[in-house]
Each structure stands twice: as C-alpha cells, then as structure tokens.
Structure 1
Amino acid sequence: MPEISILFRKLVFLTIMFATAVNFQSPSNAVDIKDVKKSLNQQRTQQSNIDISSMIQTCKQDSGCNNSRFIFLQLLKNPKDLNLNLLYAKDAERRGKLDRAIATYQRMAFLDPANRRWKDNIEKLRDLSKPAKTNIAAVLGFRVDSNGPLDADRDADRNGSSAEHNGSIVLTLDDKRKLGDFKYQTTGQFYADKNHNDPVSDLILGSLQFGPLLNMEKNWKMRPALSFERLATDRKKRNSFSYSRGALLNFANSNEGPLRSTDVSLYYLDFWDETPGKDAWVLTTSAELELEAFKPENKIRLSPRMVFNGARGGGGSDGFRDLYYEVSLGMEYSREIAGNFEIGPTFSYYYRDYIDYEPGGSTTRNDHNFNLGLQATAINMIPNIITLINYSFERNKSNLVEETYRNHTISISFVKTF
C-alpha cells in the first residue's frame, strides 16, 4: 500500500541517520551499516509476506468480522476488479462515507473510462455531500394599471377613471437538503396583493412544492414534485377562491446549451363557489431556452408554453365554460449598459381557443393576447437590494367585443435575498 511504502522509506532514512550518528558520536560502540541494511531487508521480507488470502479466510470464519471489512480485504487482493470496487463504493454510501465512495468511483472511472455511470455517480455524491442550503427572498412591489378592470374597448361610460393602484408583497422559500439517500427540494411562495380601489379584488396566494432532486445523464437533473396551492380574495372577508393540488416534473440543465429547463405539470383546480364549467384538470408543458444575441454576454430568453384547461361540463355562474387550449411564447432580452444596470425589451403572446364556450348556445370565443414592454434591473442602487422597473402594454383581441381590451402597466419592485 502507498502509505506503508512511504512510512517504510522514512524508517530506512531515520535508521540510517541514527546509525551514522552513532558511528560519529561513539566510535567504540559503532554499529556496522551492513548490519542495519540486513535488519531492514528482513523487515521488508516480513512485510511483503502478508497473506491477504488467509486474512480473507479468517474474516469468513470470524463472526465479528463484518461485511464491510470482508469487501475491503477482497478489494485489497484485487484492486482492479470493477465488481469489488462497486460493492465497496455502495457499502461506503450506505455507511455515509461519501468521500470514500467518491474516491472509489474515481478509480473505477480510471479503470473503465467508457462507462459514463461512474462519473454520474461521482456528481450525485458530490451533490449529496453539499450542506443543506436555504434561500429566502422578499419582494415589495407597487403597480399602476390604466385599465385595471380590463373594461372592453367599447365601454365608454366608466364612471370616471378605471385606473387601479396595487401594492404587493412576495415571500419565497427554496430549501435543498439531504434526506436519506436523496436530496430534496422544497419551494414555497406567499403572495399578497392589495387593490387600493376595490378590496374584493385583493389576492392572497400560498403555494408549496416538494420533491427529490435526481441526477440524470449529461448534467441534467430531474425533479418530480407534489404541488399545493390556495387562493383567497377580499382582504376584509378573506373569502376562499380556489385551491389546487397536483404533480409536476421538472428537468434542469446544469451544463452549457440553449435548452435550460422543461416542465410538465398536471393538477386539479377547484373553485370554492363554482363547479360546472370552472373546476378543471389542467395540463401544462413549458420550456426555457437561452440564446446568444449580438454578443456572447447578451442573451435572449425564450419561454414557449402550452396549456389545456379541461373544465367540467356545463356553464358556470356566468353561463360559460372555461374549456380551452392555449399556446404562448415569452421573450426577454437584457443588455448591461452600465455597472450593475441592465435594460431590455420584453414580449409575450398567447392564443387561447375556447371549446364549447357557451354550453347549449352558439357563442364562440378565441383570444389573441399581446404584451410588449421594457424592463430595467439595477443591482445595489439601494445597498443589497435589486430594483426592478417595468412598463408594459397589453392588448387582448377577441372575437367577442366585450372581451377586447387594452391596458398600460407601470410597476416597480424591490428584491431582498437572505
């Protein structure tokens, strides 16, 4: 073993130095250097005669010799055996000796470089060995809408201004920690939005997601998770509006490449005071792509998304059914124009086609929604605070005149991470 060889060489050096010192300091009691070498050669012969096979047999017969030691002795005898290396690595994982398991998988990657499995195991264990990490962020925001109620274009009699003013607060939680043999991620969000004009339009939202983080090939991670969400309205009465529960599957790319993540989710949306035409199974798929634009440091982010909202049969309290499919695309581009300051345009579009919009009737509906904006990000303009400023113009074109509207929005948000 390398450690024994090193100690042995040090012993030879120290012994020779001692013998030399004796020769110089006490000639009458001098030790012959030949006798020293003879003694050391005898020690070397004894060391090389250690019989690993007999130790393995002794371990088999000894009830006090555990399985971990038995595997270790077998590995000492055959250090290039991949099966023994794998047994030793798995045993080290089971006992929580992640450093030993990583070192063993590194040896296996050297012995069997064509097998990607060993490198994947190394990445998995390195991830598991990281300490638990919890990120918390708080967002304070203010927003002004020129057409808060989203009145139709033809609605000229609005009894004054339809502008609305909102204040909001968001708290987010992102926790990653090891539980058993896997690392789990928990994400949560609390969102409260206060409408200055109409308390009934207030929103209070709480959501939670929980699931394991699993390593895949080529630096991809998969996260299956359960999700729960509760929505309430009206800050005075705190009326329950809806809740949902379901599952999602997230794939995230931790390496280079344009495709950064993909998501698939399925959940049941249950409205508190509605059932026909509103309660629905909702299936969504989405992705995030990042492309170079003009310069390597400048990126365009694309977010395609598809939704199927499978509302129950019948009409809701408004007589209509929210059964539809939707395809959408979001785009963002930002460019640094000064230290810690970025600015860039945003654009989003969705097409929504309602199926059986008026059960038993002839009314049909499909919407084209456009949103064009400009956003700016300033880091540390206020110490340790990220400031976000956004302007957007929304235009919804529907085949129903009463659902066609336009709206201007200006917002500012302050983000603090902990």
Structure 2
Amino acid sequence: MTLSTAIARLNAADPDFARHLDHLLSWESVSDDAVNQRVLDIIKAVRERGDAALVEFTQRFDGVQASSIDDLILDRERLELALTRITPAQRQALETAANRVRSYHERQKQDSWQYTEADGTVLGQKVTPLDRAGLYVPGGKASYPSSVLMNAIPAKVAGVGEVVMVVPTPRGELNELVLAAACIAGVDRVFTVGGAQAVAALAYGTESVPQVDKIVGPGNIYVATAKRHVFGQVGIDMIAGPSEILVVCDGHTDPDWIAMDLFSQAEHDEDAQAILVSPDADFLDRVAASIEKLLPTMERADIIEKSINGRGALIQVRDMQQAIEVANRIAPEHLELSVADPQAWLGQIRHAGAIFMGRHTSEALGDYCAGPNHVLPTSGTARFSSPLGVYDFQKRSSIIFCSEQGASQLGHTASVLARGESLTAHARSAEFRILDNKGN
C-alpha cells in the first residue's frame, strides 16, 4: 500500500480563509432514515419485551449464543478475575491512572450551602448525587479501559449510588483490560450488551437491567442515535463527534513531536481532525515533511492518511495573537499550546475542551493519566460545553425557607408581579402570608 499525504494548507491572510476554515470544520452526526428507524424499532422492542429483546438482539448483532439474560451478566468476581489476568504493568498503569483521575475529580465535588437573611429567611442549594448512572463502553477488539475510568470515577466521587456498565462482546470476546478498569473504578454491575438495545435498557429498564438517571460514554452511530431518542427520559453526557486536536506552535518544538501529536488523534478514525496553526511557514514545511516520514511507521497508517488528507490542515497565521484568535474560532476538543510561555496566552483562550500547556505536554497524557477528564466537547461545542466531571453526576435543588416576616415582605413583591401576569391564584397565595392581610 502506497501512503501519501496531501494535507490542506491554509493561510489566514487569504481573503477566503474564513470560508475555507468553515468548510474544513463542517461535520454533522446525522443518522440517515434507515439508521433512525432501526434504532426506534429496537427501543420499542426493548420497552415492550425487556430481557427477551436484549437476548435476541445480542444473539443477532453480536453473535453471542446466550440462552437467557443470565448469560449476559458479569458479577463482581468476574471483574476481580480480570485483575489477575492482565499483566502487572497493566494493572499498575490502571491503578496509577485511576488514582490521578480520582484525585483531580475530588476537587470538583460541590457541597450544599445556605445563608440566612436578617429577617430569618433561609436560602440555599442542596447538592445531591444521582441515584444510578449508566456507562456505555465500546466492546470487542476496541479496548478503552481509559474511558471506563474517566466515566465511572467521577460518578463514584459524586456519590452516585450505583454505576451500571454495558459493554458488547462480539462473538463472546471479553476484554480483560476493560473489565479490570471497571473493577478498579468501582463499577457495580456489568451487562454484556451493546448498541441501541443497551441504551434503551438503561433508559427504560428491563426485568434485569435497572433504569438509570443518566447515560454516559462513547459509542457508534446507533448508540449516538439511541441516546438522542432517550434524552428526556434520562440525561445523557453529549452526542460526541469525531476526535480532534488543534496544535498552536511558535515554530520551536521538534516537528516530529508535532507530527506525532497530530497522528494521535488522526488514528482514532477517518473523520478525526488534526490541525496545526503556526506563524512560521518554514516550520509548517518541516512538520509536513515529518508527517510524510513518520506515516509509514504507524500501525494505523491507512486511517491516519485518510484523516489527515480529508480533514487535517496546516494553517499559517500572521503572528501568535492571530493563532489564538483562530484557536478560539475553532473551539477545539484538545488544544495544545506548544509554545515557550503557554501561561502568557492562557488568559486569551476562551473556547477549548482541554488545554495542554507547553512543549512537553502531549495530548496523549490527558487521554490516559494526567487526571482531568478526557470526555470533552467536540465539533465546536466547547463554546458552550465543558468536560465531563463530578458536576455531571450531581443535581442541585434550591432551598427556600421564609420566616413569617420574610414571607410578608416578599408577598408584596410577588403579588404585584403575579397580578401583572394575570395569575390571581399566585397573587392571593402570596397575599395570604402578608401579615396585615391575614384573614382576608
């Protein structure tokens, strides 16, 4: 197989730059009618037939010879067994990563609070964890133990009572690393089902699969479509697009490092996006040469090639200030500030899922073990979204306690506003508590 890259070259000075950039960034996760209808049919079947539908779909789609739902349940002992089947180095890596992820997320935990006004009125907020969360994990040859840690640990730190994991096992293939990660992260129950049927089971419950409050975790187009349809019945984390990386470099980082950083996202799939922005045209040339040199050495070279050629770009800008402006325009999932003094530019970054500071901080470290969550907003949604965190597994309830005097004072204001909206019952309900109106 002959490999070659024709990565796009853009220049911010080009009068058509904005149009070319918009075209490069455009991507929509649109399910076609066939996928959409198939997912709706699967959800309907799971709602109507529960466990029996799960067994049937698992037999049909995953080639698993399951005679009953019991064949699709893994107990805690099986997860603990996985810990003994992985290598000592793998177990150490999982435990190190888990400890770092847990330590970081413990700092996100929010507490309830209250304050008392002069008249005795108490206002506040009660923070409560979700009762139950569902975690979708891709299965088969795909091995994403890091996703298990990143999704389950924040839920446990938040105080979620039960974390239920679903993971497909095509042809009965169990991934020991994934199961070991589930054990370390404290996952409570595991069902070896996947696809839209697993999402439906978590959203509506079956005889064996408990209904959850929120579903998190990545999946294919069927999983993403199912999450769209069950949203409202349950919460979801996000509908994630392809992985993406934007590297902003001043031209003084080793070009081989930058090429490999771009590859680190391009190897996910053909739709992944890798972009480099720099004011140094010669540096862009050197990175292009590194891409050509290193591509044949990659195990997933064919995927990287398609990603780089289809959605990658090397963008020349006027200066570092313009580089930051382009970064904010893109609002990337992963942003590497591969510059001499990243702290000097950090304050100007407004939109990014995760920011990797300095030449030595590769995005890959964040994917696995730095500590912050690797579940990040994609496709420009960093403009209004945040990484997955403990706060996604906590609810906030407002607390209002009015003293007699406080209710009387607030009653006057509420009455005026309610009558202005022609909501008389609201007004009179408030007026009953006004001290000089009692008995009226």
Q: Which has the higher contact order (CA 8 A, sep 6+)?
A: 2
Structure (1 or 2) with the greater strand fraction = 1
Q: TM-score, normalised by structure 1?
A: 0.23
Structure (1 or 2) with the greater helix fraction = 2
Q: TM-score, normalised by structure 2?
A: 0.22
